[in-house]
Structure 1
Amino acid sequence: MKNPFASLHILDFTHVYSGPYCTMLFADLGAQVLKIEKPEEGDDSRHYLPFKNGQSGYFMYLNRNKKSMTLNLKSKEGKRIVLYLIKRSDIVVENFSPGTMKKLGLDYKEVKKIRPNIIYASISGFGQSGPLCGKPAFDIVAQAMGGMMSITGFPDRPPVKCGASISDANAGIHAAFAIMAALYNREKTGKGQYIDVAMMDTTVSILENYVMQYTLNGIVPKRNGNEHSASAPFDAYQTKDNYVVIATGSNKLFERLIKVMHCEDLIYDSRFATNILRKKHYAELKPVISSWMGKYSTNDIITWLDKAKVPVAPILSIAELVQHPQLQIRNMMVDVNQPGVGNITMPGFPIHFSEINGSVRTPSPLLGENNEEILKNILHYDEKTVQKLKKEKII
């Protein structure tokens, strides 16, 4: 098994989630990711919960397999060092507010002068153009502006964000995909390029059929709770002891469900003959299913519906998830020995290849852990110079 990006050098100016998630994917596939952080402070996420022995679990997860170097990018010597590092880098990734890298003299226009075929990716809330380009954003802002919150939650309750920071993660994944496309293009043409990824744009891109409901039929989608906007029954139901979800996206699946329920007469009910009709009359169908669900245990329902090949699942807690045998056998929970903390468990690399190895090889770096390694082994600075940089708070 090989690491396809073992010779790829990424200079990482990212922080918090979207950018670090993007570069984590490359690091898991073997890329040499050098994370540039602020001296003394570091990535903001180093100060995010949860903590153990003074270290952030948030940071540990998103920055495994990377190296950390602290640099004051506003200092003359700090900028000189980073320009040298850019010369030997294949990719630059940053997720500062638009304009920040330009103020530092490290925007694509300047970087391209010293590394003409660089691939330079910027991730931001609203992109590098448009009336909102300068607007600061975190995940909840992107979810709100990207339409996600308007369709999440129950119709009689206030809008809510997705539990996880889906706009951040989605932007990071799209950025990684874009960088891969740019790498392929560079292999073919020899040319690098600039990549502009916006959290709002990528959130809109995963709104499924909600935008089309409006553009096709003028319908402004509303919050549906756990219901699907285009299929029924597709919902969460309370059982005798917990909850389950089911998804019957076809007539065949619906027939299987009602046979398990011993409600075969529903097959001949004209209100439920097709998916469109079931969605239209779901308020009449839901009580029938809910009543049946409430009589039996979660385990019984899952056993019966699994046997009938009806998509069904319990709603797992994080504690149940971490211990689940499906994730265990697929190496989706991995143990990492974090210096100063000890053995910790985190999600593994989520893609399985036949010829490529995506894995967690090293823990997240301590702040500036690799300063001397980079300065001495790559820039060939002597000990005296390194100590001078520390004293002047350049590193």
Structure 2
Amino acid sequence: MLSGLRVVELSDPSGWLAGRMLADLGADVTLITDEQLRETHPYEWAAFNAGKTLAEYDESLLRDADVVIETGVTPRYEELGSPTVVWCVLTPFGRTGPRAAQRASDLSVQAQSGVMYMTGDPDRSPVACSAPTSSHHGCADAVAGIMAALLQREKTGKGQLVDVSMQEAHLMATMSRVGQWSIVGGRGKRAGALMRVGETVQREIWPCKDGYVSFGLRGGPARIPGLKRLVAWMNQEGLAPSSLRERDWDTYNHNLLSQEEVGEISEPIAAFFLTKTMTELYDAALTRGLMLAPANTAREILASRQYASRDLFVQVEDRALGVVPLVRSFVVSDAVPGAHGAAP
């Protein structure tokens, strides 16, 4: 898809995923970075730098590039960028504005984007995702911007600057929360593994025998049939109490439940889920038509029959870690070669 495209990636770990995605699409990606990061970030280095070549800083590489990815606010674009280059700058707060020159960690960007306030239990402080989600969101937006700029270059012959703020990219993950403040004046409340519905809290993440699954108590034409099927399955195993068997599910509306009714429904379902493994519950979801999904860890992902059937992982010999499984590509297409070598 991008065969022959020359990409120079002048970045720290926050930009590595963008270069990896372009490499997956067939671009020739040259990485310029601190090589000590191979030792301090071995897993990120192996995963996000696969398929790239490593080079020392050389201004001629930047002048000749089709695409440059830069993490940091510098004057290089004005000084070295050619009229046809697509130059992407990925930074915490964007290339302009009063905070442009400020540095920030992933933790700080998550906090300042509003995402962290939404995450965690209501009786505790906000928590951050353990993965660097701000840079991952930023890199995905960066690649989308780069691809759009390349398409425009085919029409005009001109390159352009793509300015990506990780804070702004992560802001999109808050969905409607910012708009809610302007409309109702509410900041929202954390609910942890629960979901706030009116004056109630209803469980969304449930423990099972060997992990957790996601299952909602929501009603409506899409959800009610699954609730009926779950109760029927529980009844087959003698674990459905009368409060579930005798409920009129056709008129069920989760928005109208009292907290006591939520408990009557949730408690036997929670007890039933604890008798099953994640695989048993997910297999039943597929065969019985339940809107349920496992909360997968790396263990389940690497053992996934779905991923295996699509050859998602390739085994790559990494110089520091040995043989490691890497995601072949973020998209499956005949024109996308995917990972074609270990990290340099």
Under a length normalisation based on structure 2, what TM-score does the superposition of the two structures give? 0.86
AA aligned to 1:68 is L
CA spacing shift, 1:241–1:178, aligned 2, 3 Å: closer
CA separation of 1:214/1:44 partners in 2, compared to 1, >3 Å: closer, same or farther?
A: farther
In structure 1, the partner of 2:127 is 160
Report the Cα distance in structure 2 between the residues aligned to 1:306 and 1:290, rounded to whole angstroms.
23
Distance (Å, rounded) in 2 between the aligned partners of 1:287 and 1:43: 58
Question: 1:7 maps to what in 2?
Answer: 4
Structure 1 residue aligned with 2:327: 347
Residue type of the alignment partner of 2:271: G
Correspondence 1:134-145 to 2 at 5 A: 134-145=101-112
Q: Work out which of the residue numbers 20, 30, 34 in structure 2 matches 1:34.
A: 30
Supply the distance in 2 between the matched residues of 1:268 and 1:345 (Cα, whole angstroms). 45
Aligned to 1:88: 64
The C-alpha deviation readout for 1:50-105, integer Å capped at 9, x for no partner, is xxxxxx1221111011010123xxxxxxxxx42x2223210111012x2xx22xxx
Unaligned runs of 5+ in 1: 50-55, 72-80, 366-395
**1:305 Cα deviation after fit:** 3.6
Match of 2:272 in 1: 295
1: distance between equivalents of 2:145 and 2:250? 49
Tell me if structure 1 keeps the 8 A contact 2:228–2:249.
no
Residue in structure 1 matched with residue 290 of structure 2 by the alignment: 310
What is the rounded CA distance, in whole Å, between the counterparts of 1:220 and 1:340 in structure 2? 46
Asked whether the 8 Å contact 2:224–2:250 carries over to 1, the reply is: no
1:188-242 Cα offsets, whole Å, 9 max, x none, are 1111111110111001112122223222322211111123467986601233554
Aligned-residue offset at 1:249: 5.5
* CA displacement at 1:182 relative to structure 2: 0.4
Q: Structure 2 residue aligned with 1:191, among 158, 176, 179? A: 158
In structure 1, what residue type is equivalent to 2:40?
A: Y
Matches within 5 A, 1:1-395: 4-17=1-14, 19-37=15-33, 42-43=34-35, 45-49=37-41, 56-71=42-57, 81-82=58-59, 84-96=60-72, 98=73, 101-102=74-75, 106=76, 108-112=77-81, 115-228=82-195, 235-239=204-208, 242-247=211-216, 250-252=219-221, 253-262=223-232, 263=244, 265-267=246-248, 273-274=252-253, 276-277=255-256, 281=258, 284-296=261-273, 297-299=275-277, 301-339=281-319, 341-353=321-333, 355-365=334-344
8 Å Cα contact 2:8/2:32 also seen in 1 = yes
Q: Deviations over 1:257-314 (max 9, x none)?
A: 14422525443697xx435435xx4674155223223135224544444333222123
1:143 alignment partner, SS class: helix
Report the CA distance shift for 1:245/1:290 in structure 2 as closer, same or farther (over 3 A). farther
Q: What is the distance in 2 between the residues matched to 1:118 and 1:317?
A: 40
The answer to whether the 8 A contact 2:204-2:217 is kept is no
SS at match of 1:212: helix
Contact 1:247 1:310 in 2 (8 A): no
Uncovered stretches (5+) of structure 2, i.e. residues with no partner: 233-243
Q: Tell me: CA distance 1:254–1:212, structure 2 relative to 1, closer, same or farther (3 Å).
A: farther
Return the alpha-carbon distance in structure 2 between the equivalents of residues 282 and 298 of structure 1: 26
Q: Report deviation, 1:322.
A: 1.4
Give the secondary-structure state (helix, strand or coil) at the position aligned to 1:261. Answer: helix
Deviation (angstroms), 1:15: 1.2
Task: Read off the aligned partner of 1:298 and give its amino acid letter.
Answer: K
How many residues align? The count is 327
- The residue type paired with residue 46 of structure 1 is R
| Superposed displacement of residue 340, structure 1 | 5.7
TM-score by length of 1: 0.76
The answer to whether the Cα contact below 8 Å between 2:92 and 2:165 also exists between their aligned partners in 1 is yes
Q: Distance in 1 between matches of 2:196 and 2:153?
A: 41
Aligned residue for 2:97, secondary structure, equals: coil
The verdict on how the C-alpha distance between 1:302 and 1:326 changes in structure 2, with shifts beyond 3 A counting, is closer
Shift of 1:120: 0.6
Partner SS for 2:174? coil
Partners of 2:141 and 2:169 within 8 A in 1: yes
Aligned CA-pair RMSD: 2.5
Retained in 1: the 8 A contact 2:118–2:189?
yes
* Amino acid corresponding to residue 8 of structure 2 in structure 1: L
Q: Structure 1 residues 141 and 287 mapped into 2: Cα distance closer, same or farther (>3 Å)? A: farther
